[in-house]
Amino acid sequence: MNTHDTVIDATGLRKAYRKGVVALDGATFQVTRARIVGLVGPNGAGKTTALKSILGLVPFEGGLSVLGRDPRRERDVLMNDVCFIADVAVLPRWMRVREAIAFVEGVHPRFDRARCERFLANTKLTPGMRVREMSKGMIVQLHLALVMAIDARLLVLDEPTLGLDVLYRKEFYQRLLEDYFDEDKTILITTHQVEEVEHILTDALFIRDGRIVLDAPMDELAERFTEVLVEPGRLEEARARSPIDERNLPFGKVVMLFDGVERQTLAAFGETRTPGLADLFVATMKGTY
């Protein structure tokens, strides 16, 4: 792999808080340029701590390079090339559109006010409008305008659509894809809402108990994993192939999930299909809730 293309290189990341709580327990992963990567895990799995480490917001043990820099020592320089967005529902309710623009312009050197205003021109938002006067959809539009006006090489989104209904979540990700993402940008999204990001991701990272338990491009996942609706008479034969998960459906039907077993072989046991990311997530995270 070309090191120039490596945006995040994490080796053995470890972070323990007081009272012995281990948030990261040897997490190792890489993120390359021009990818949209989902860091997916249940609450408490270590997602936010991993992001805070990448952004230089918490001390940690292990090796970590972000855009070729160590976030512990070179955070100020690094943040010129990084944009971080948490929950879009957290803009202060008293803030006006013009104040939000002025704030971001003041804190991020790569913010392009003209680009932000061009984006807002296609909405019903006006400079004097306060957040408390906006619908949820308008708040999403404002947040997106602010994000897309920042020419950052790495965009980090931490549960960005928390509290928004499905239509606004869809619009958020669609706009991100159409109006922001290009071959010079990389997007890292943490979420536990797997279905809403599945269609835009190029890669999936599953984190469980502070460790990365799945790290693969989306097209590789489709080749690796197969679900089988096993016919009643073939259950024991199918189990002999070591499924990684098994679940019961109504009317006595059983679905088994296999990793790395040829689909042609599995077709003998019943109807096969490619599992969705949510199916893989549930199977991988069983016992963590």
**Any idea what the CATH number is for the domain that residue 114 is in?**
3.40.50.300
Q: What is the pLDDT of residues 222-261, one digit of tens each?
A: 999 999 999 999 999 999 999 999 999 888 889 999 999 9
pTM to 2 decimals? 0.89
Domain that holds residue 140: 3-209
Residue 215 lies in a domain: no
Give the pLDDT band (50/70/90) at residue 288. low
Closest CA to 276 of 210, 197, 209: 197
Confirm whether 247 is domain-assigned. Answer: yes
> What is residue 172's predicted lDDT score, i.e. its pLDDT?
84
Q: How many CA atoms lie within 13 A of 247 on its CB side?
A: 12
| Of the candidates 134, 95, 152, 97, the residue with the CA atom closest to the CA atom of residue 119 | 97
Residue 50 and residue 117 share a domain: yes
- At residue 14 the predicted structure's pLDDT band, cuts being 50, 70 and 90, is very high
Task: List strand residue ranges (DSSP E) for 33-179, in order.
Answer: 36-40, 61-66, 82-86, 154-158
Domain closes at, from 184, 209, 234 = 209
Same domain membership, residue 239 and residue 269: yes
C-alpha span between 90 and 94 (Å, rounded): 11
Kindly report, residue by residue over 55-66, the tens digit of the pLDDT. Answer: 999 999 999 999
Same domain for 266 and 144: no
pLDDT tens readout for residues 15-29: 998 888 899 999 999
Same domain for 105 and 174: yes
Could you give the CA distance from residue 214 to residue 284 in angstroms, rounded to a whole number?
8
Residue 175 and residue 79 share a domain:
yes
pLDDT number for residue 196: 84
Q: Are 104 and 245 in the same domain?
A: no
Instruction: Give domain status of residue 45, yes or no.
Output: yes
The overall average pLDDT reported for the chain is: 91
